[in-house]
Homo-oligomer: A and B are copies of this chain.
């Protein structure tokens, strides 16, 4: 990698080149100094896109909903970036959400760019990579960036923290177990969507969500998460979801919450990166210097705290 490579690719992405964007995302997914240099070059050009998180349990039809939302958003002349994140898969490029979407009509539309990302090992880094991928799509001029996750665990909640607006998708007739699992996810919802609303029990699920919302402590802002119903597979009820997203962004701006949310997003991202850097400094490159320090700890010549500080001080100097 040379500085010229990074500058050239950054320029292509800023021009809106789809090939440039694809290449940049490959860099981001691989991680390392090249990914960091590209992110750093593009970061000042971000901040225009509306970043929407989309999460919900397995079988809630998130990928179908993402496709329906993308199609409706295209009709409104928005351009889309979709990042599909699967923290549980050890493989990259597998047949997860984004790929299934890629296989259909949207594939021919240059206004919709889809990328799947999977986990890169126990040391984390997926949140960081997802955030950087969203930045690239933002810098490339995509006006609406959807971030989808598979599953309902803590990783998913972390990924959702990079979004301005979070859609949580439910379906009628889920058992209590799954509802309990989702408790942490429900709290981060700005828009609730009950998908497959033509199924039995849909109105009860809507009512349950509304009851749950009424029980939750009122947020500082004035936004009350709406509970919307749709049948994504038949593209029914999609427009009101896009309307709700636009209203939410307007409310974020009017209330000043957008600035606070941006500050929280910045803090969460920096925290994740700092923790990743710490882990990398100790474990990943396993420099000779770090190895010698660790040996001294094992021999009781150096205390663990002092060693951690020394390795971090060394490790973070890498550009």
A18-39 contacts to B (CB < 8 Å): 36, 39
| 18 A-B contacts (beta carbon < 8 Å) | A36-B305, A43-B303, A43-B304, A46-B300, A262-B298, A265-B298, A270-B294, A270-B297, A270-B307, A271-B278, A271-B282, A271-B308, A273-B305, A274-B312, A278-B312, A312-B316, A313-B316, A313-B317
Distance in angstroms between the alpha carbons of A305 and B35 in the assembled complex? 10
- Judge if A283 is at the interface, Cβ distance under 8 Å: yes
A139-156 contacts to B (CB < 8 Å): none
Residues 271-302 of chain A: 1 if any B CB is under 8 Å from the residue's CB, otherwise 0?
10111011101110000000001110110110
- Judge if A309 is at the interface, Cβ distance under 8 Å: yes
A191-207 contacts to B (CB < 8 Å): none
Choice from B36, B266, B279, B295 contacting A274 with Cβ under 8 Å: B279
Let me know if A308 and B277 touch, CB within 8 A. Answer: yes
Residue of B nearest to A282 (CB): B271
Interface residues on A, range: 35 or more
Let me know if A263 and B294 touch, CB within 8 A. Answer: yes
Let me know if B47 and A300 touch, CB within 8 A. Answer: yes
Let me know if B263 and A295 touch, CB within 8 A. Answer: yes
Distance in angstroms between the alpha carbons of A294 and B274 in the assembled complex? 12
- Judge if A244 is at the interface, Cβ distance under 8 Å: no
Let me know if B274 and A311 touch, CB within 8 A. Answer: yes
- Judge if A259 is at the interface, Cβ distance under 8 Å: yes
A270 — which chain B residues lie within 8 A by C-beta? 282, 293-294, 297, 304, 307-308, 311
Copies of this chain present in the complex amount to: 2
A301 — which chain B residues lie within 8 A by C-beta? 44
Distance in angstroms between the alpha carbons of A269 and B308 in the assembled complex? 9
Distance in angstroms between the alpha carbons of A100 and B107 in the assembled complex? 63
Distance in angstroms between the alpha carbons of A45 and B303 in the assembled complex? 11
A297 — which chain B residues lie within 8 A by C-beta? 266, 269-270
- Judge if A82 is at the interface, Cβ distance under 8 Å: no
A266 — which chain B residues lie within 8 A by C-beta? 294-295, 297-298, 304, 307
Distance in angstroms between the alpha carbons of A304 and B36 in the assembled complex? 9
Closest approach, in angstroms, between the C-beta of A164 and any C-beta of chain B?
A: 13
Residue of B nearest to A44 (CB): B300
Q: Are A39 and B278 also in contact (CB < 8 A) when A270-B294, A271-B283, A273-B308 are?
A: no
- Judge if A40 is at the interface, Cβ distance under 8 Å: yes
Distance in angstroms between the alpha carbons of A283 and B268 in the assembled complex? 9
Closest approach, in angstroms, between the C-beta of A188 and any C-beta of chain B?
A: 15
Residue of B nearest to A301 (CB): B44
- Judge if A68 is at the interface, Cβ distance under 8 Å: no
Closest approach, in angstroms, between the C-beta of A47 and any C-beta of chain B?
A: 5
A309 — which chain B residues lie within 8 A by C-beta? 277, 316
A304 — which chain B residues lie within 8 A by C-beta? 39, 43, 131, 266, 269-270, 273
- Judge if A306 is at the interface, Cβ distance under 8 Å: yes
Residue of B nearest to A131 (CB): B304
Distance in angstroms between the alpha carbons of A295 and B306 in the assembled complex? 30
Choice from B43, B273, B298 contacting A263 with Cβ under 8 Å: B298
